[in-house]
Amino acid sequence: MASHGITRRPVSAAQSAKAREQERLKVEQYNALVAEVQTLRASNTYTTATLTTSSTLLSQNPEFNTIWNYRRRILLHLLSPMSADEKLKLLMSELEFLIPLLQSYPKCYWIWNYRIFLLQTCSEQLDVATALRVWKGEMKLVDKMLGRDARNFHGWGYRRGVVKEIEQLQGRISGEKEGEGSASLVEEEFAYTTAMYQKNLSNFSAWHNRSKLIPRLLDERNANVEERRTFLDGELGIMQEALFTDPYDQSLQLYHHWLISATCSPTSSAGTPSGEIVRLTPEQQLDILTRTLVWMKELLDEEPECRLLLEELIFVGSLTRGVAEANSGVTAEVSVDEVKGDMQAWLDKLIVVDPMRMGRWRELAERL
Amino acid sequence: MAAAVVFTNKPEELFVDKHVKYIQTLDTADKRLMSWADGVYWGLTALHLLGHPDALPRDETIKFVQSCQHENGGFGAHPSHDAHLLYTLSAVQILAMVDALDAINTDACVSYVRGLQKPSGVFAGDEWGEEDTRFVYTAIQTLKILGRLDAVDVGRAVEYVLGCQNYDGGFGLVPGAESHSGQIFTCLGVLSMTDSMDRLTTASKDQLAGWLAQRQLPNGGLNGRPEKLEDVCYSWWVMSSLAMLGKLHWIDRNKLVGFILSCQDEVRGGLADRKGDAVDVFHTVFGIAGLCLVGWGGLKEVDPVYCMPVETTKRLFGAK
């Protein structure tokens, strides 16, 4: 189907007769295997032997979703008369079978889906404590996958799913035994995003996950307004330092943009869902916005052609104007007229350094 | 929608005949395009957009699609494969393009799709229950083509999609998942098909369009999310999304065209993900569809919501 990153073979590279023969044999063997498994499937044969045959086929072609479905049916059939110990053993060996496949095909949806099915079957058919142990084991796999490819889309999505289920199972256990402590993993997961960005600042996935965790984190800490402000200052400080390290990094710009827009917009309806960090007074908003403009302008002196920085400056400038104009009683340290002039200059510069997005900047110019 | 764009063809060439030939040779005895429904959809859409709608045999195409429908009403990629929403939409799109929607059991198909909606509004891909925004898109488009959107809870489906929007304006697979151009296409598609685009604020639409425009890299190609490599298929996912937001002019068309054309196999036809890589029918259709969106001369107009020729969607839904 869709191939990615596979080098095109030149037309002149004619295959040798031997290679062609080998290729033909391989296709023939594969087709015979497909026919065998399809016959077994059509006759509703659900045995340990058919499980093995389907393993052979799926190892060769893990995109064959229908055969994964067949395997689900075989497995449910085999599990139904089993004791708890036998069930655990079979489910664990299934999880094991997938490891080399996931290593070879980390982006194949069907393998991940089958794995989630196995884990859900654990939750349904094993006792809570055992199921929890199995799910917790998954965290090691996720750590390994994300250690190898820190931006693996499936890896991050899978991690969120695993965390959610562990929290639910822990909730079920602590519901049975009062005072077992919190079922939430939000502190651990937040710390994980910290560890990930400390390894590599340029990790959009880690910043994204962080943004999703923060509202819950603050709620679960029962943070008051002062604590929330301190937290926000901490995050903004991290961003300031990080952007001085790499002002060209989009994931940093996006995260910073979110922090500012979620807390310093003149109206509470900023547009995109932001999650609650803290409600600031207009004075506090203007204080943050002014400080941000100061350090961003310093950075611009060092990197006068950085288009991401120019774009963000215009954004922060427009918020500053918005907040100041909506709260005329509040004295701002910056003059609105000065910000207006700066914004025009930044936009003029942006049109020069980012001609690819000219259409966007022209539109913005009309609005300013 | 943005105003139509008149594009001046640069000296570079789109090898139309070679691409037609490439897709036709996929349907020979050893390759058997007619053995996977999504492959037929990709190939047929490319041929329609290239202006060669009859390059695949119509009768055989219809017969193949019919043979993929299961008793439960859904379609498999092949008669011997289990039914799945992905192939159900491919089947219905194929029949829509060849104007043969009456060739299948519509009621059964509608009831299959309806049976996959969950209380949250999301749809599962099949009976085994994988749920995400891709399947909301496939379900809604299938029913829209069949004229049976009333069969499901559209309101809840829209709410689910809106719950997948992130701080960068983009959309993810499920609530909480990071933004990805493919999911942005499916989510904007759902909002468009259900006349719900006005549920997004102007600010969030602008932010999203800005994020999409950032996907263009200095070589002209588009990537799917920040700090990733360019790939021809994003010429569709990103550009169709920009088209739905009316912001196609926020990227550099000439540079994108240059990138897409550089991904052609100028000898055997077809397009690859990147220059010099092996071609496939998936990248072929999305590269060509991307060229259609920027108004490359000689190609048919494509509908950014449905990824089918405008001729087809006009016939189905009337002029917009």
The closest alpha carbon to B253, from B64, B1, B4, belongs to B4
> Could you give the C-alpha distances from B61 to B19, B20, B288, in angstroms and in order?
19, 16, 22
Per-residue confidence (pLDDT) for residue B2, from 0 to 100: 41
Measured in degrees and rounded to the nearest 5, phi and psi for residue B308 equal -140, 165
Cα distance from B7 to chain A (closest Cα, Å)?
A: 15
Euclidean distance between CA atoms A151 and A49, whole angstroms: 38
How many Cβ atoms are within 10 Å of B52's Cβ, its own excluded?
18
Mean pLDDT across chain A: 90
CB B209 within 8 A of CB B245: yes
Q: Rounded to the nearest 10 degrees, how much is the dihedral formed by the CA atoms of A117, A119, A122, A124?
A: -50
Residues in chain B: 320
Mean pLDDT across chain B: 93
Q: Which residue of B has its CA nearest to A206?
A: B178
| Residue A266 banded pLDDT, cuts 50, 70, 90 | confident
B81 to A208: CB separation less than 8 angstroms, yes or no: no
Structure tokens at B140: 């809604």
The closest alpha carbon to A87, from A135, A46, A121, A44, belongs to A121
Give the residue-averaged pLDDT of A258-276.
71
CB contacts, 8 Å: B179 with chain A: 208
Per-residue confidence (pLDDT) for residue A201, from 0 to 100: 92
Question: Model's pTM, two decimal places?
Answer: 0.93
Residue A18 has pLDDT above 90, yes or no: no
CB A276 within 8 A of CB A252: no
A298 burial via Cβ count (<10 Å: 0-12, 13-18, 19+): exposed
Q: Which range among A124-133, A328-337, B3-12, B296-305 shows the weakest confidence by mean pLDDT? A: B3-12
Q: What is the DSSP letter of A266?
A: S
List domains and CATH numbers for chain B. 16-317 (1.50.10.20)
B203 to A270: CB separation less than 8 angstroms, yes or no: yes
B178 burial via Cβ count (<10 Å: 0-12, 13-18, 19+): buried
Per-residue confidence (pLDDT) for residue A272, from 0 to 100: 43
Per-residue confidence (pLDDT) for residue B47, from 0 to 100: 98
B265 to A8: CB separation less than 8 angstroms, yes or no: yes
Per-residue confidence (pLDDT) for residue B7, from 0 to 100: 40
A73 interfaces chain B, CB cutoff of 8 Å: no
Per-residue confidence (pLDDT) for residue B30, from 0 to 100: 60
Euclidean distance between CA atoms B169 and A255, whole angstroms: 12
CB contacts, 8 Å: A151 with chain B: 227-228
Residue of B126, B178, B283 best to disrupt the A interface, most CBs of A under 10 A: B178
- What stretches in chain B show pLDDT beneath 50? 1-10
CA A35, A38, A43, A44 torsion-angle sign: positive
Give the residue-averaged pLDDT of A165-194.
85
Per-residue confidence (pLDDT) for residue B306, from 0 to 100: 98
The closest alpha carbon to B23, from B14, B12, B13, B34, belongs to B34
| Residue A269 banded pLDDT, cuts 50, 70, 90 | very low
Per-residue confidence (pLDDT) for residue A270, from 0 to 100: 44
Q: Which residues pair with B308 in a beta bridge?
A: B303
Q: Which residue of B has its CA nearest to A159?
A: B177
Cα distance from B110 to chain A (closest Cα, Å)?
A: 22
A204 to B227: CB separation less than 8 angstroms, yes or no: yes
Q: Which range among A129-133, A182-186, A342-346, A362-366 shows the weakest confidence by mean pLDDT? A: A182-186
Cα distance from B317 to chain A (closest Cα, Å)?
A: 31
Euclidean distance between CA atoms B118 and A22, whole angstroms: 48
Euclidean distance between CA atoms B101 and B79, whole angstroms: 18
Q: Which residues pair with B171 in a beta bridge?
A: B165
Cα distance from A173 to chain B (closest Cα, Å)?
A: 25
A97 burial via Cβ count (<10 Å: 0-12, 13-18, 19+): middle
Euclidean distance between CA atoms B19 and A7, whole angstroms: 19
Which DSSP helix (H) or strand (E) runs through B279? strand B279-280
CB contacts, 8 Å: A212 with chain B: 176
Per-residue confidence (pLDDT) for residue A368, from 0 to 100: 81
Q: Exposed e or buried b for every residue in B84-106, given b needs 16+ CB within 10 A?
A: bbbbbbbbbbbbbbbebbebbee
Per-residue confidence (pLDDT) for residue A2, from 0 to 100: 62
Q: Which residues pair with B279 in a beta bridge?
A: B272
Measured in degrees and rounded to the nearest 5, phi and psi for residue B15 equal -85, 75
Residue of B126, B166, B168, B217 best to disrupt the A interface, most CBs of A under 10 A: B168
Query: Rg of chain B's alpha carbons, rounded to an integer?
Result: 19
